[in-house]
Structure 1
Amino acid sequence: MTPTDDHDWWRTAVIYQVYPRSFADADGDGTGDLRGITGRLDHVAEVGADAIWLSPFYPSPQADGGYDVADYRAVDPMYGTLADADALIDRAHELQLRVVVDLVPNHCSDRHERFVAALAAGPGSPERGMFHFRDGRGVDGELPPNDWTSMFEGPAWTRVTESDGTPGQWYLHLFAPEQPDWNWDDERVHAEFATTLRFWLDRGVDGFRVDVCDAIVKAPGLPDWPHTTHGVVEPVEGVMPPMWDQEGIHDVFREWRRILDEYDGQRILCAEAWLPPERAARIVRSDEMHQAFNFAYLSLPWDASAVRENVDVSLRANDAVGAPTTWVLSNHDVMRHASRYGYDGPVELEAGVGADDPQPDRALGLRRARAATLLMLGLPGSAYLYQGEELGLPEATALPDTVRQDPIWERSGHRIRGRDGCRVPLPWTADGPSFGFSSSADPWLPQPTDFGSYAADVQQADDDSTLAMYRRALDTRRSLGLGSGSMTWLPSPDDVLTWSNGAVVVVGNFGTDPVPLPVGEVLVASVPDAAADGVLAGGSAVWLRVDDQG
């Protein structure tokens, strides 16, 4: 059974991200797996999502949480088997959930058979042509080929030892040394990924979230780039960095789109590209990808004017190419929004928080997060949710440094704690080993002792819970067609945003003082005390049915 046919489902879909290692563990080894996910899909369907996106479950040495892929067309034994993947896809489709899987085309694992063969073949070989191998600079080639830096700190180049034991060429890795970059100037790389796409499409997946898609093509000659970006992809004097958003990426996306269009049911591509909205919109032109995450929106502070500006810019850019805007507030790479909104001022999204760092105000963060979610879901377009946000899960901000696994922790010399705090296993039950995540009391990352208070079974019976709010919002969003609607800004005081979307008026109060509300029926409120006596409390949001929207 496949989901009900809807050619344009992706334009309005709410897609729920599953981080397999931390979702649910069926075999009791402390690590989440595919059978665990399958057993908990009812939860996702009951929340009201239209699809799931699975982060990588492919064979991997786990140097970067599975984004170092050793085989794109298999399942890592820690997660199960291909039969388990097939069963997961079938069960999701029974529940009318589509399935999106990760595609990681910028880099692979240094244990991928193609890279192993390249190391063995030596300089100048066709095998090395599938990657970026270069001779070093300096008298004896002892310096990296250029000045590029890794997103995980340090140089973006590692020197190999050749088969005769001598220091040899260098290979490019924009991320960890265990993640060599593919060379997309080589047609064999194109063929490799075309085979991978067809492999998973033939198994019934409904699309691909494409990791670091804007980095796959590098500028000819790999020129130096003296402007250290630290992940901020901005042009300098109108020129994009040579490792990001090069024109050649669009030919690759069109190639993939032609493959997907051969299949029925409207299979999709979603771009992970940390680009300004105007640049990201170029990726979702009609013959390229279907969606691109709005990371500029995710990165916003708790500020009404900043949100309004981003919404205007984003909708204008995407409307110009006929694409939906794809909103998102949390994922596996950034601090959970229930925690980052607990700070006043800027937050480093991927830097992580330790026990000795300033801690977020949890109550404030959750209150604002619920409001921010309601505002996001009241916008036209598509939206992505990250597992656990429907429970109001905070970042795990007191993880012992000894358990950290994000490579940035070691690569930065223990200066940057990284992303482990948003990847801690979910609490399903208030009691039991690892709060129902596993039969093991020792999950792969330790859970905070108070995670039981956020457990799904606790919130199931509480009509005021975060889980209940998500369910009401998603049900109302679908029934009233907000995803396919259009918005019009309405007059509002400072620190307040008000807009209409079809029959609904959305109001969000970013300030601390109550503000008057339009007269109307409250359809969904971010918190129980949001709307009373005709006013909207600070740090809250509501959806109203209003007869007169003027």
Structure 2
Amino acid sequence: MATEPDWWRTAVIYQIYPRSFADSNGDGIGDLPGITSRLDALVSLGVDAVWLSPFFTSPQNDAGYDVADYTDVDPLFGTLADFDLMLARAHELGLKVIIDLVPNHSSSAHPWFQAALAAGPDSLERARYLFRDGLGADGDVPPNNWQSVFGGPAWTRVTEAAEADGTHRPAAAPQRAQWYLHLFDTSQPDFDWTNDEVKELFRGVLRFWLDRGVDGFRVDVAHGLAKKPGLPDYTPPTDAGSMGGTPEDVPYWAQPGVHPIYRNWHRVLAEFGPDRILAGEAWVEPLSKLADWVRPDEMHQTFNFTFLETPWEAAPLKKVVDDSLAAFGGVGAPSTWVLSNHDVIRHATRLGLTPPPPQGQGIGPASESHPDEVVGLRRARAYTAFMLALPGSAYLYQGEELGLPEVIDLPDAARQDPTFFRTGGDSYGRDGCRVPIPWEAAAPAAGFGPAAPDGTAASWLPQPAGWGDYARDAQQGIPESPLEFYRSALALRREHRLAANELVWLPSPTSEVLVFRSGAITVVANTGSAPVALPDGQLALASGPIGPGRLPGDTTVWLLG
């Protein structure tokens, strides 16, 4: 496993989406005891750390990213005692544990927001959130034109109670009805991060979980906490993804005010030793600007979404690697590499789409394009082999090691992503990458949870027919399976210290092939469709079948010697 204190510079970090990982009690929702019971499988896979998406107290309007209590476990997932047992078991197995932190917004069920509604305009309670008067003679126009990431307006008007001002108005007479900002769902009001109480709340949250022994935090919407003073109108370009960063000045993304917050958090983590980390979800471009998030006194890592969105094509792929290593290396930080997570179409499907839809839109039965599943999986394996040979840290999303595709044919009645509902079904959203993962091929719900007396098992999102074919037990020991491919790649990555080596580009036989050297390993990635001659060397890893002396298209190999 990676070593302290700089373990995060080279670590492979595995994302667990708790409600879809493993269910211990048969309610169809994954939980903390389920995670504990499956940690050995992750050690066998060869990862260094796990990152858990939110498990805090929440109404679950956005699958836990609407937090009502930042220092307790939602009963859906267990108890604080269950968390402590999971953490202890992970550490016993040599795994670091990173947990999600959601500081841009709370749940509307959070006691602070409920107090803000009760207190009314101009109160200290409202100052913790972004309440504003509306425009127009009656204040019935939103304060600006901002749109929610999930679709629709980013402002909701509240219904005020009557003021006790001695005017003897009827009890139903309203005060001025204010609006509150929610860049996401109406149930996710944005905090005002100029407020000292908000800053102190989250310093306390950090210390609460650090005291329990967590190794770090993945910070949700890390580019969104600060808003431009005055909250000016902004209309994004039509080709912008829902969370995509742009070089222009977006008044609610990537504002300079985020950086003092993370410098302060960095100091809090340093109180607990040099090995605790912050990893930012920051959709920011260009990479030279994103590097500001990982300067030495701020975050330790940030997700490289520019890499995630780069097509499987040699020229843009080489450019994003060079740009990433230059940008992050310029501030002394490692680059991170990622291809899938709980918010994007799984890359085994995305790479088989021409073109893929904008980030956040998802894919469903009525989408204009449908994936070529064979091509998608072949490219996914080749892209993964390329990624895992790069210097720096890598993130894996649960189930990608099984070759899981996006689930496209979810019935509308089963969908739960607020994006689907706020867009009237125009965007399918993210449910397709969140379907509970399969463990045992022959078990009910593919082993996701225990069976009921009638032999059935629940699953909060329906698993498609044939899901058991991807199950872990069906792939173990099968050399050509995605699972064994990942195991081999991770073992070789560690053995040859690929994450710590310098990358050296080598001459390429064609414009569709990339070749680089990392220590004793030469990586050859053919992003085209035509086979090319295979260089000399002992084959250490292949993402797919190869012929004698020939490297097929959409295939990556690692060669020794």
Question: Shorter chain as normaliser: what TM range?
Answer: over 0.9
1:373 to 2:389 alignment = no
Spell out the pairing of 1:20-419 with structure 2 (5 A cutoff): 20-164=18-162, 165=172, 166=174, 168-227=177-236, 229=240, 230-236=242-248, 240-264=249-273, 266-276=275-285, 277-357=287-367, 358-419=369-430
Q: Distance in 2 between matches of 1:348 and 1:242?
A: 21
Q: Distance in 2 between matches of 1:199 and 1:404?
A: 34
- Secondary structure of 1:168's aligned partner: coil
Deviations 1:367-413 (A, max 9, x none): 11011100000100000000000000000011111110000111001
1:461 to 2:470 alignment = no
How many angstroms does 1:355 deviate by? 2.2
Q: Distance in 2 between matches of 1:393 and 1:442?
A: 20
Contact 2:26/2:458 (<8 A) preserved: no
Spell out the pairing of 1:489-528 with structure 2 (5 A cutoff): 489-492=505-508, 493-527=510-544
Deviations 1:24-80 (A, max 9, x none): 000110000000000000111111100000000001111111100010000000000
The 10-residue stretch of structure 1 (358-367 or 420-429) with the greater mean CA deviation from structure 2? 358-367
How many angstroms does 1:231 deviate by? 3.0
- Letter of the structure 2 residue corresponding to residue 319 of structure 1: G
Deviations 1:315-362 (A, max 9, x none): 111111010000000000000000011123343332122223332111
Deviations 1:107-165 (A, max 9, x none): 01000011111111110000100000000000110000111111011111000001225
Q: Distance in 2 between matches of 1:491 and 1:65?
A: 47
Spell out the pairing of 1:7-26 with structure 2 (5 A cutoff): 7-26=5-24
1:6 to 2:21 alignment = no
Contact 2:2/2:11 (<8 A) preserved: no
How many angstroms does 1:477 deviate by? 0.5
Q: Distance in 2 between matches of 1:233 and 1:319?
A: 21
Deviations 1:165-196 (A, max 9, x none): 53610000100010000000001001000000
Deviations 1:274-310 (A, max 9, x none): 1121111110000000001000110112211111111
Number of equivalenced pairs: 539
**Which residue number in structure 2 is paired with residue 473 of structure 1?**
489
Q: Distance in 2 between matches of 1:461 and 1:505?
A: 26
Contact 1:489/1:498 (<8 A) preserved: yes
- Letter of the structure 2 residue corresponding to residue 110 of structure 1: S
**Which residue number in structure 2 is paired with residue 538 of structure 1?**
553
- Letter of the structure 2 residue corresponding to residue 368 of structure 1: R
- Secondary structure of 1:522's aligned partner: strand
Q: Distance in 1 between matches of 2:360 and 2:344?
A: 5
- Letter of the structure 1 residue corresponding to residue 42 of structure 2: V
Q: CA RMSD in A?
A: 1.2
Spell out the pairing of 1:414-493 with structure 2 (5 A cutoff): 414-440=425-451, 441-492=457-508, 493=510
- Secondary structure of 1:73's aligned partner: strand
How many angstroms does 1:227 deviate by? 3.6
- Letter of the structure 2 residue corresponding to residue 205 of structure 1: V
Contact 1:301/1:345 (<8 A) preserved: no
- Letter of the structure 2 residue corresponding to residue 505 of structure 1: T
- Letter of the structure 1 residue corresponding to residue 437 of structure 2: L
How many angstroms does 1:265 deviate by? 5.4
- Secondary structure of 1:46's aligned partner: helix
- Letter of the structure 2 residue corresponding to residue 534 of structure 1: G
Query: Any gaps of 5 or more consecutive residues in structure 2?
Result: 163-171, 452-456
- Secondary structure of 2:180's aligned partner: strand
